[in-house]
Structures are given as C-alpha cells and as structure tokens.
Amino acid sequence: MTNTKDHPTALPARVRTVVVGAGYAGLSAALSLHDDGIDTLILEGSDRVGGRVCSERRKDGVVVDHGGQWVGPTQKHLLALAERFDCPTFPTYNMGEHIELWPDGVHRRYTGAGPDSGPGMADYLAAADRIDELARTVDLDDPTATPGIERWDSETVHSYFERTVANEDARRRLALAVEGVWSIEPRDLSVFHLMFYVASAGGFDQLMETEGCAQERRFRDGAQSTALAVANHLGDRVHVNTAVRQVEHTTNGVRIETTRGTILADSVVMALPPSATQRVTFTPPLPVPRTRWVDRSPMGDVAKVHAVFDTPFWRADGLSGQATIYGNRAVGVVFDNSPEDAGHGVLVCFVYGDRQRSWSALSDDDRRAAIIATLVELFGDRAASPIDYTEKIWPQDVWARGGYAASPTPGTWFAHGRGGWRAPTDRIHWAGSETASIWNGYIDGAISSGARAAEEIRKQLSR
C-alpha cells in the first residue's frame, strides 16, 4: 500500500524541522511536532510511507503484512495511535493445537506456550527464567550504566547457551527463539543486547508468546494502515520519492540536500535504520561513537512468505496454524495470518538467519517448493496448492536492507553506546525503533522514539 502523489508539491526553501524517514518513527515525530504547531516537513526516499511496515492488498482483497504486523496489550503508543486514527485490530487466531516439527520428522502437537513434556522443555524454561533475571538488572534509561555491561556485552548468546544450558534440545529451542525475535543467529548477538531487549519488552515471554504478549492482535486493514492514516493527516508535509543525500550544519541552520532539491531547517530528526543512515553524508562528520554505532549495527536476515488458500482448512483439523520448525528446513516459524472474517486462509512463513541466506539463493521455483514442502509436512496435502503466494525478502529491500531491526554487534554497546546510541548531534536528533527504551525493535518503540525526538526539538527551540 502506498501514499504517493503523482505530482508532489515543490519543496519549501526553509522549514523549522525536517524529519528524514517516513516509517513509524518519522511519522510519529512529525505528527507530534505538527500537533504543537511546529512547521515540519517529512522526507522519504521510497515511494511509500511505513518503512519496515508494509501491507499489500492481494487478489480477492486479502491483505498481507510483509513487515511488522502485530500489536500487544503493553504496546500503548501503537494502540493509542491506531485508536486516534480509527484503525481497528482483531485477535491473532490462537485456538486449537500448535505444532512443532523436529529434524527427524517427529511432529508434536500442543496447546499453550509449549509442550510440557517436549524434549529440552524444562531446561529451556529454566534458561528463560535466568534471562529474565539478567534483564531485570538493565538500566533502560541509561543501558551503558548497567552493572556488568562489559562482561555481558563481550559474550555471544551462542557461547552463553553452550556454557549454561546442557541439554541440546533446549539449546535448539533457544536458538530458534533468538532467530525468531532478532532474525540473526545466536553467535551474532551479545548477551547484553539480549538482556536489554528482553527488559525493553517487559520479559522473555512477552517476546515469544501470543495471548497477552507481543503477537496478541493484528490490524484489520494491515499494520501499514495507521501509517497511511498519519501521512494523510499530515498531507503535503509528507514527500515520498525524496531521498536525502547530505545533511550539513551551516551558520544559518541545517542544510538538507535531497534528490529533489535543497532545504534549510532549524533542526533535523533522522528517523532511519542504521543501514539507511550510512547512505547519508554528514558535514561535519558525525562523532566517532555515532558512526561506530551505525557501522556496527547490521540489520537481520529475514523473509516473510505468505501462502493464501480458499479457506483456513487447518482450523477444521483442530490446528491453530502456528508451528515451530527445528533443523534444516527453510521455514522457522509459521502463523495463521488469515483475515478476520476467515474468508480465505493465509499461512505466513518466517525464514531467518542462516536458513534465509541459503533459501534466498535458490531459484524462484525452488524457494517456493521448499516453503510448500514444509507446509505440506505440517498441514497435509491441502497445503500443496495455494491460490496465491508472495515473498518479501528483506535483505533485498533497497531501503531497509534487512529486518526486523538492527542489532549492535557484541562489544558495541559497551564501547560506543553512551555517545552513539541516541545522543543528539548538535541540531540532529535520532529516532527509530533501535533508539527506543521500551519495545526496542518494535513498531511501538519506533513511535515512542519519534515522540522523544520531537520533545528534544521542542526543548531546543524554546531556548
């Protein structure tokens, strides 16, 4: 879904504030400033708003979310924004039995958070409790002040699990949990960032579960619907197809050079993921801690694949459509992504990390065959013939270059977090989900980060 204009209005010569990036962080910052009567312009390089949230209406009217899609009860910023702009939600389908599929082909059906007697389950739950204990030590207002940060930021999650979790099946469960939340492998994540992220969400289960947690509800018209509503409210202040190339501090303000002209502003909100920030030239150069933080915060590797069927046939079999897959199959996790009225059946498949890199290198036909084969293994022969099939391979997205979020590499929080995470750079303020203290990496965190950046600007303008 797009919010483009065939003939965009000309860029003004000067505004009070320019917001770079029309994802949820940039839209939130611009909306907050606009609400306070501060002259604001938002610039977006792509042809749509929403950033890493991207909804598409497929044939027969089925809406699929290629990017972020869920909202949980504690994600109050997103819920409030959706309520303001009348974007209804509905519960994620969570009835019936879930499936886990193991490398040896064993299927296990269960209800609730996990199979109580499943292999490695007791050790997995014990490890989750230890992670929660560590997360409670994190200082969310100043993460770099967390006791023991150097130690925890120096160890990878892979080595931590190898050191503290004896059961191999429990480690498999934990590894898939990491892939599912961060879309990277445990070797690429520091224990400290895991601690911070869990603390930011309010607990390990908040990240993993559905009812009462991050995956509880979906948006009737797609998760991009609220972003589109905000953009329509802001009107001509939103300029898509307008990529920012340079940001320069001058004696008269901040000069922003774009693909459609140059603008002068009193202040700037940079609401881009680190991967996109790298494409902008800053004059004078950004402080070293900020450049190091950006350079050492790569995006994850994830693809979302939707298979659409005439009906959600798995429900009649007593299945929820949710599945976790261990081993070498391409798919890691499956959810029922059917519309609220169940007029069609939709299964969304997540492909993460190492599996994503191998799978995405295949031909179009072979990628599809690998996905469908797993769905047939899970749900039977009726899964072999979807009426529609679509992929979004996020590392191939020219703007985001990955998903869901950027994760600082081990050692980056300790070495560069204090000055690099989100501290303003003169008249440049930093937003984006990666800069949030609460629900970091999520849509809700993006919205709160935009509000924080707007508040920084209000204080700066009042001096």
- Tell me: is residue 244 an annotated ligand-binding position: yes
Nearest to 191 by CA among 245, 239, 133: 133
260 sits in the region (left: phi over 0; alpha: psi -120 to 50; else beta) called alpha
Q: What is the DSSP string of 395-458?
A: GG-TTT-S-S-B-PPTTHHHHHHHHHSS--BTTEEE-SGGG-SSSTTSHHHHHHHHHHHHHHHH
CB 459 within 8 A of CB 452: no
SS3 of residue 151 by DSSP: helix
- Tell me: is residue 204 an annotated ligand-binding position: no
CB 281 within 8 A of CB 428: no
Joined tokens for residue 227: 């972003």
For the chain, how are helix, strand and coil distributed in percent, rounded to 5? Answer: 40, 25, 40
Joined tokens for residue 204: 């390990």
- Tell me: is residue 434 an annotated ligand-binding position: yes
- Determine how β-strand 428-430 pairs with β-strand 388-393: unpaired
Residue 450 amino acid letter: G
Q: What is the DSSP string of 259-286?
A: TTEEEEEEEEEE---HHHHTTSEEESPP
How many whole angstroms separate alpha carbon 413 and alpha carbon 326? 31
User: For the chain, first and last CA: distance in Å?
Assistant: 40
Cite the annotated binding site for FAD by residue number: 244, 434
Return binding residues for substrate: 350
Q: Detail the residues annotated as belonging to a binding site.
A: 244, 350, 434
